Amino acid sequence: METERETEIWYAMRATYRREPDAMRLLEKEHLGCFVPMQYKISIKKGKKVRALVPVIHNLLFVHARPSDLKRVKSQVTYLQYITDTRSGEKIIIPDNEMQRFIAVAGTYNDHLLYFQPEELNLSKGTKVRVTGGDFEGQEGVFLKVKGARDRRVIVAIQGVIAVAMATIHPDLIEVIQ
């Protein structure tokens, strides 16, 4: 009866020793939602260039589940761990709307996306904006100059975990929101 009242929430988690594919399979088998930010990387195998989809940050995954379901699955595997806030020691829980925005951008696997650790960006220096056209229409984020890019980019961040900078967006397709 207890699980009926619980709602599904997004957790930031680690799958140690690069076992995020194993964790994904296990979570899918248990019918729990999960998302691993991925990108295409070109590597050389047997002298040939191969384009493969790989995790952006190894060991990072997001799990969408009821707390009791996740606790049950977590008790079966040792390599699945909660990511905690360094200041408070609390598990990092991501609001649904923030996670949906992040998945909408990171889930495109666009080659021009740039990923950052939270400490690499000062989001307070940027301007809050909404994209009004193109591939990322409707997405909101922070407009900011980032290293590795000549122009300013719209950033969608998961507080304390990861941030993604969208591909270059023409200024005409961006509106400032208060």
At 176, the amino acid letter reads V
18-44 pLDDT, tens digit per residue, is 999 999 999 999 999 999 999 999 999
The CA-based dihedral angle spanning residues 114, 94, 6, 76, taken in that order and rounded to the nearest 10 degrees:
60
How confident is residue 4, by pLDDT bands cut at 50, 70 and 90? Answer: low
Question: How far is the C-alpha of 175 from the C-alpha of 38, rounded, in Å?
Answer: 28
Listed in sequence order, the residues at least 6 apart from 5 whose beta carbon sits closer than 8 Å to its beta carbon are none
Q: State residue 1's pLDDT score.
A: 43
Coil, strand, or helix at residue 97?
helix
Question: How far is the C-alpha of 39 from the C-alpha of 50, rounded, in Å?
Answer: 13
DSSP 28: H
Question: How far is the C-alpha of 10 from the C-alpha of 95, rounded, in Å?
Answer: 7
Q: Tell me the average pLDDT of the chain.
A: 93
Residue 157: CA count within 13 A, CB half-sphere = 20
**133 pLDDT above the threshold of 60:** yes
Question: How far is the C-alpha of 137 from the C-alpha of 139, rounded, in Å?
Answer: 6
Total-model pTM: 0.91
Q: Which two tokens stand for residue 165?
A: 């900078």
Q: Which two tokens stand for residue 170?
A: 């023409």
Neighbour tally for 109: CB within 10 Å: 12
51-70 pLDDT, tens digit per residue, is 999 999 999 999 999 999 99
78-127 pLDDT, tens digit per residue, is 999 999 998 999 999 999 999 999 999 999 999 999 999 989 999 999 99
